[in-house]
Structure 1
Amino acid sequence: MGQSLWICGFKDQRSRRGAPGLATGLLSAALLALPVHAEEAAAKPDEMRYLLGLRVSSGPEYPGSRRQEQGLTPLWALYWGRWRITTAGTGAMMGFGSDAAGPGPGASRDWLHGEHWKLGLGLRIDSGRDSDQTEITRGLPDVPRTLRGRLNLQVELDPKWTLSASLSPDLLNRRGGTELSVDFGRSLYRSRHASLTLGLGLSASDRRHLQSYFGVPEGSEAAQRLGRHYEPGSGLTGAYVNLSYMQALTPRWVLVASWSEGRLLDAAAASPLVETTRQRSASIGLAYRN
């Protein structure tokens, strides 16, 4: 799977297909039309902030792969009033770690919120899969690029524990299916200039998503090579634990590092495409913010 990048409400990964402009415009307009909390509307609506940096990361070549791939990826974020457009992880860097369990990267906004909870909406592009990019998926149908929505609920359980749940459906019905994740975050250490956060999570997907990414259609070239076909149903896809460290080196420069250990579960783990259920990744990045 390729690198994820949220641009103007969309997640851009390596793909041969373009983004659907009409759907993009309509959904962006729908987000703009949503009601805004009075305090949010009054909080410097024209203020613009940005962050720019680079991250070195290592992770599985695809979910279930034994092979790790390394890469250098850009980090950037743009905040304009209540709107935010970010790459993965930069929302936390922009806010000294205070948004570590936030709505995730992309063009998004808080829709409703109370004293200890908030509900957010977002849009992203999911680039799907080019099956010829790896040997194990060769001969499987490509998964087309699509537009995903995101509904995210974040609840502060106490000063150290946060619960976050995110639902992400394929809005264009291009075989992407629906993804669900539930995460618990605990602050292990926090000072004015540093934070260390532990995360525990579960992910699940519907039948359409699992068949697109872990299924092996009967009669396909991949089924012949692997010796069987596979049609998973809906269910859990993974469990994971991660540690995230953030350090403000100066008021402008921020260092971030993360480590994640996970396991594929249920129908995902049973796929013949999976070489190992163990999933490990790590990254370190440095960014400048205004």
Structure 2
Amino acid sequence: MKEITQERKQFIDDNFYEGIDENELNKSKFELLTSPYELQYLAEKHNWDNGIKILQWISESNICSEATALQLFWLSQPKDYQSYKLTETIKGEYVGDKNDIFQLIKTILNNFENGFYKKTDIHFDPTIHMEAEPQVPDIMKEATNGEETYIYLEKSDVDSWFGEILENKIKRCDTTMELYNIASFVKNNFNDKAELILKHPLCDKGIALMLFWRLKTHTPLWYSADTILNQIIKKIQNCEYPEIVAYNPKLDTEIKMKEPKPKWTIPEFMIRPI
């Protein structure tokens, strides 16, 4: 692949640096980029936690290479959006930047179909992104034995706990039932809080199983979720959690145990290496 000069790298680093607010992004500066290689460099250095705006600009640029666009498509985790129609706007309480990512996916799909992107010597192989989804073991679908759960905390109270306050509430739990109550309501930064709850010495199989299904249902777009899910599976298979409270995933209205049927398919030309 053709190298870009250190001067051009410095220009990109100075104007699209780590942590820059999306409102500070300058489209006229972006339009000074003149080659597919500069866009590839920018795409690879961009931190997705800083937003999608610059990636959308790249996907709309007539100098963007096929490989760069394809890379952005697969990094967008398109499989997580196949439960939505391509004409749909994602709605819900915790949407975040899902619609921006979905728009990026739709832009790239449309532009590929229309032969918009440049053919270059930049390469990308999507194979690693197409590994088969791991099957959920049957043990993760079984109810746990233990004390019947009951909720005594107020949802509004738990929802008002943030940062250190919530962390301290979790750490100071002195019964499994109290930990279960908090775990039942935690939604903001769910993957971070799930890790904290799972590490608590009073976390049992029922809580771990509930967190597994809620993480799987509500946080498929967070890259750390798969790691946590696999850790829970392994510990439950190894009988590392005691059974203290009862939990039946089939009765939990907050989760989805069946994968939804895809509402659109990834075209054949998007799964071939470039």
Q: TM class by shorter-chain length?
A: under 0.3
More strand by share: 1
More helix by share: 2
Q: Under a length normalisation based on structure 1, what TM-score does the superposition of the two structures give?
A: 0.21
Q: Under a length normalisation based on structure 2, what TM-score does the superposition of the two structures give?
A: 0.22
